Amino acid sequence: MERTAIYPGSFDPVTNGHLDIIQRAAGLFDKIIVAILCNPTKKSLFSVEERVEMLEDNIKEFSNVEVDSARGLLVDYAKKRNACAILRGMRAVSDFEYEFQMALMNRKLNREIQTVFLMTGLRWIFTSSSIIKEAARFGGDIDDMVPPLVSEKLKKKMNLHSS
C-alpha cells in the first residue's frame, strides 16, 4: 500500500524551513501532498495561485511530492486523497500547544489519520512565514530564509525592488 502524507499549511509564502521538512519527509513517505488550506485566523498576503506557483517552483527535484490546494476540513481532504498521515513541522516549544490542539482535534474528527511531527532543522527554528513577511515589509534581508523566487515576489509585493 502506498503511504501518502499530507503536509498542510498556509505557506504564505513557503520558506526554507518548509522545504527542509518536505525534503526530509519525501524520504520517509511514498508520496507527499503539500496542501494549501485556509487558516481562518490568518490574513494571507499571497493568493492561493501565487502560493502554489512558489511551492511548485521549489519541489521540482522531488518526484514523489505534489502541490495542491483545498477548502474545508483537513481530515476530509486527507481521506479524499487516501492519506494515512498529516505531516507538521515543529519549531520551538511555542508551537507545541497549537500543534497539540490541532492534532487532537484532527484525531477526534478522524481516528484513522495520524499526525506526524518532524522537528524543524536548527537553522530554521526561529523563522516563520509571518516573521519573514514582517522583516521584508521593513526592508530586512530575508534572502537566506526563503528560496529566490519567493524573495523576488516578496520584494515586489512589499514594493521593495532591490535595484
Q: Distance (Å, rounded) from C-alpha 13 to C-alpha 27?
A: 23
Per CB under 6 A, does 89 bind ligand PNS?
no
Q: Distance (Å, rounded) from C-alpha 159 to C-alpha 156?
A: 5
Scanning residues 64 to 83, which ones bind ligand PNS (CB under 6 A)? 73-74
Active-site annotation holds for 129: yes
3-state secondary structure of 77: helix
Instruction: Determine the interface stretch with ligand PNS among 22-30, 34-42, 46-54, 149-157 (rule: CB under 6 A).
Output: 34-42
Strand order in the sheet with 85-90: 65-69, 31-36, 4-9, 85-90, 114-119
Instruction: Determine the interface stretch with ligand PNS among 7-15, 21-29, 138-146, 155-163 (rule: CB under 6 A).
Output: 7-15
Contacts with ligand PNS, residue ranges (CB under 6 A): 8-10, 37-39, 42, 73-74, 102, 105-106
* Residues tagged active-site: 18, 42, 91, 129
